[in-house]
Amino acid sequence: MRRTCPLLDHPEFSILDSAGWREYRVENPRLVHPGRSHVRKLLGWFWLDATIPLLIALFWDSVSDNRAAIACIAATVLVYAYVRCTQVLWESVVVLPSLGLQFETHRGLPSIPLTVSRNFIPLSSMQDFIINEGLRGWNVRYYLAAIQRSRRDAISLDVAYENILPRFPVLLEVYHGVHETLLDESHIDSRSDT
Amino acid sequence: MTMIAMICDFFHPNVGGVENHIYMLSANLIRRGHKVIVITHSHPPDRVGIRWLLPSLKVYYVPLVTIASSATLPDFLAFLPYLRTIVLREGIQLIHAHASLSALAHEGILHAHLMGVRTVFTDHSLFGFDDAASILTNKLLEAALRNVDATICVSHTGRENTVLRARLLPHSAYVIPNALVADQFKPGPITGPTATVTIVVISRLAYRKGIDLLVATAPRICALFPNVRFVIGGDGPKLIDLLQMREKHMLQDRIEMLGPVRHSDVRDVLVRGTIFMNTSLTESFGIAILEAACAGLYVVSTRVGGVPEILPEDMISFANPDEDDVVRAMSEAIQIVSAGKHDPLRAHQRVKGFYDWSEIAERTEKVYEAVLHSRPPDFWTRMNRTLDLGRFVGPIFAIILVVGCLFFMFLEWWLPESEIDKVQRHWDQDRFVKLVEESERRSAQEHHTTLTST
């Protein structure tokens, strides 16, 4: 398995090549800091979590008798732990030649991936793979989308890198890669038959 | 080659004169090598976001709420975030705003200076001075146009009206008329002289279009000339008056009501008749009259607004906007047409030479060049001009100006320029032409190989 970082300006983007597939991975840019030592990295995401026990220790005496307050604190701690454990670590577009595309989102603690959610788009139902622009709040962003046409002629859009939404140069790389391996190949096959 | 943004509340999918004007002007400017985008409001449920129209016209549908007949509420700050993002990502150099009733257009002009963008405004309609709605809109217009770089009006009467309403300096207002695509309005095939004379009326059935006048004069004309038939197309609040008139005078066989007519079907309706009747009470240009004249019809119209400026005297009969004069003008027209003195084909050839969209685009381009070469006023001049608006309106708009600047500062912190996805690849017409040639060559080759192999 070979890993390359083709874009110098965007170190969070890397391509992993293997025998049967190719993965275009975009890591969460907030967690990618090239050149930082491991200790500093650990301290970086650990310090905020360390203040929670400190705060609880400070305020425990004043609220230990109040049941509602304890329930509130417990709820907040659980919510905070859930949010920290489901950070998006990296998202990828996996190209399976002649089979289709797979969009993956890996979540968990930094350097400990916990959950994965995958979305497979078969090549037979895929119409096209496009870069489109859309309004997002007050901003306009570029996004990659796969257009699927179901058997009943219903069109649906699946967005790649939905949570991270990388910048245009990254999207262009992935766009060209997917078109060369998946979409142009089917076009080449049909041409060689005639 | 300039990057231009057309801003207006009124754009497709709505159909109308302003929408068509913006689209045709943008298409012709693109043909001359500029890059044009259009910013308008969204149409629920799903016309939101970014769409493309031929030929490489990008349209931004911004999600703002409309209040009445496709116009948004004039709150002066809701559009600023979207405007800033769009201007920065597309690299806009000039904003061309349309229509005095469009709040988006006013906001575009008011906030353009924050991003160093020049402004041009086109006014498409005439307004009065004495009713409440006019007084309010005129004041808002004056405030917006106080700091605009150039104004364009569609007729000389329109220019006088706009200069008076907005208290502009007269030399800063240009006159560039509308135009039409003459090939879309060719006359019908020549038939011999027929006994019936058909009068066509196509308009929005509203008070401004003088439908009351039509209701009053149609029965009289039908009584005076037994060989006359009416064909009325269009829809609106006054439809019910027309239907009632038809019932009352038993004219169901003489007056045909077509209902709403799509713009692509207008020419087919026009060539059914020989006379076009327009009874508007106010009309700044009268593009419908021009379309009818181009299709070879003789025109009868009320002498209002900019209508006397658009056609030569021998193609149109004028009337004052009262019943008797309209009937007189119509009798004159029927006599001319029955005597065969009006030649539809010659009329079409003449109108074809009068108005042309590429010429309009060239004249608009000259206005843009003049604006881009002039120096923009500095903030102090802008503030002084705003304060001069009046005792109450001046401070109000000065406050809006300052709050706009503060909101802009906030947006620079909330959404810095580095976070905005700049447009790096725009539509490239040359590349498109090359790809088309390549694909044609490839399909011709495949066709050739299949022929030779079988």
Is pLDDT at A187 greater than 70 in this prediction?
Answer: no
Interfacial A residues in 116-175 facing B (CB < 8 Å): 132-135, 138-142, 167-168
- Predicted model pTM: 0.87
For an interface test with B, the pick among A9, A30, A130, A135 (most B C-beta atoms closer than 10 Å) comes out as A135
Under an 8 A CB cutoff, do B63 and A135 touch?
yes
Residues above pLDDT 70, as percent of chain A: 88
pLDDT score recorded for residue A193: 41
Residue of chain B nearest A142, judged by CA positions: B421
Sites in chain B below the pLDDT cut of 70? 192, 454
| pLDDT per position as a tens digit, A75-90 | 988 998 888 888 899 9
Which residue in the set B420, B421, B450 is minimally distant from A194, CB to CB? B450
What's the per-residue H, E or C state across chain B? Answer: CCEEEEECCCCCCCCCHHHHHHHHHHHHHHHCCCEEEEEEECECCCECEEEEECCCEEEEEECCCEEECCEECCCCCCCHHHHHHHHHHHCCCEEEEECCCCHHHHHHHHHHHHHCCEEEEEECCCCCCCCHHHHHHHHHHHHHHCCCCEEEECCHHHHHHHHHHHCCCHHHEEECCCCCCHHHHCCCCCCCCCCCEEEEEECCCCHHHCHHHHHHHHHHHHHHCCCEEEEEECCCCCHHHHHHHHHHCCCCCCEEEEECCCHHHHHHHHCCCCEEEECCCCCCCCHHHHHHHHCCCEEEEECCCCHHHCCCHHHEEEECCCHHHHHHHHHHHHHHHHCCCCCHHHHHHHHHHHCCHHHHHHHHHHHHHHHHHCCCCCHHHHHHHHHCCCCCHHHHHHHHHHHHHHHHHHHHHHCCHHHCCCCCCCCCHHHHHHHHHHHHHHHHHHHHHHHHHC
User: Are residues A135 and B411, on separate chains, in Cβ contact within 8 Å?
Assistant: no
Percentage, residues of chain A above pLDDT 90: 43
Asked if pLDDT for residue A52 goes beyond 90, the answer is no
Least confident of A52-61, A166-175, B205-214, B258-267: A52-61
B-chain CB neighbours of A167 within 8 Å are: 421
Question: Residue A31: is its pLDDT beyond 90?
Answer: no
